[in-house]
Structure 1
């Protein structure tokens, strides 16, 4: 297997990891607002589908990982177990209960924007899975999240550039995959307009402060990947040249040095394994946007290999990383 290839064996390993946590209710980090004692509930009572994986958003992208693997390996070792899980969990009744949670007044900003982006990414993958039947079941919740984006982005004056769940470029990037496959022109137009409004004038990015001890995204690289996805190719190349003018010389140097993870039992420090994996995804994706004879391609591909090789051995081992890291590894491995 190439360092940047997804083998059947690795897909089976990732599927086993996700199947082991998407219905594991505890430990659980529940970000829940209470209006009164009537709002008490266990994770599975509040979120009948996405109650596992330590938190709601990690459970959503655990389901995405399983859908993505089933799409690529429909006869894989765990394919039957994935289908059984989806049949049990992705039901109209449970989707309605997930929608009801978002209808609560205190849920206006729940999981914004990270969980929103991942829910649309999951929906996009389900659209491609077995004639889209499960995407249709999830559609009411997809519509809730889609409409949240439509309402929120016009009033979001500024982007959020931190390398954690609040990063807005990451959410736009994931949402674009849904807008495209669902042929949702209104959403796609809003994503494009918002990305241009937030990031279109950026140049000479110094990657200052990367990485910090709590980041799983490079605010620099995910912005570039967002613009690659949402900008026409003829506009992206000049923008990228302005944004990272010395990328061919491996500058800013901090982007090319994989992060050191000192304690994988610490959930925040374990984010840095995710940083290495998400950088690998961005480096590889950005390389694909450049002309094949562009000397920058080799630099970006080598950086992707380096980061992936550093982090891939650590997608399992401690639950603080295990409940989510394989999703980020898969993003890098399936990027063409």
Structure 2
């Protein structure tokens, strides 16, 4: 199965004819195919010997000179059928699993090169390819100039065509271009920060010169330790300024978050004040002074209504 897939893949990239003793593969891949065919031929020979031994055991154990009835012959054939069926099924399953392991090796090596191999299952029943493989095996067996079996512990898969390598190189070029753009942006940011730092340095140096001019004659009385302290202070200011520049974005984000939090706190406090005012109003309505005032207003309203009725009469 794997051999047919390799031949089919190669035919798509090689439009020329293929000789009977060649598969159209390069020397390395053809040697790998020969190794696999030798392995498959040895396994096939072992299974055929096993099937032959089944028949031989039957002849030696069951076939004697005395005649057999129809039922006995059926029983013997059924037993032989079961044994041969089991052996053939086991060999077919083992062959399928072996091909899967071989495909796994090829796909694993292809994935290291970021290749995606494709298979065409329909080509496995291509009679032309099957005959080509049979002729290749026959020529490989009968050839007098057989090449020695190549035993490679961990072979490295070479891409079948240049498409995979080109695609890989293109992806690497795109990645490097993106990384280059990021580095350019970062360099530009660093240059801006350096310009700001130089400006600040110039301002500090001018301030230091002005301070030295203002001191005038007092420079003779300044101790060396004071000068060191001043230089340390200037260095600390420079470092603090650089740190401030680096943390500007982060501080701005923090201020925005604090502002949002303050707004939420203000809304919560306003809500609490509103609830407190309602509670206070409710408590005030429950006081004796409020009730007395309400009773007085009620009586006055009743008197006014009474006077209005009298005036109306």
Q: TM-score range by the shorter chain?
A: under 0.3
Which is greater in Rg? 2
Q: TM-score when scaled to structure 2?
A: 0.16
**Structure that is richer in helix per residue:** 2
The structure whose RCO (Cα within 8 Å, separation 6+) is larger is: 2
Q: TM-score when scaled to structure 1?
A: 0.15
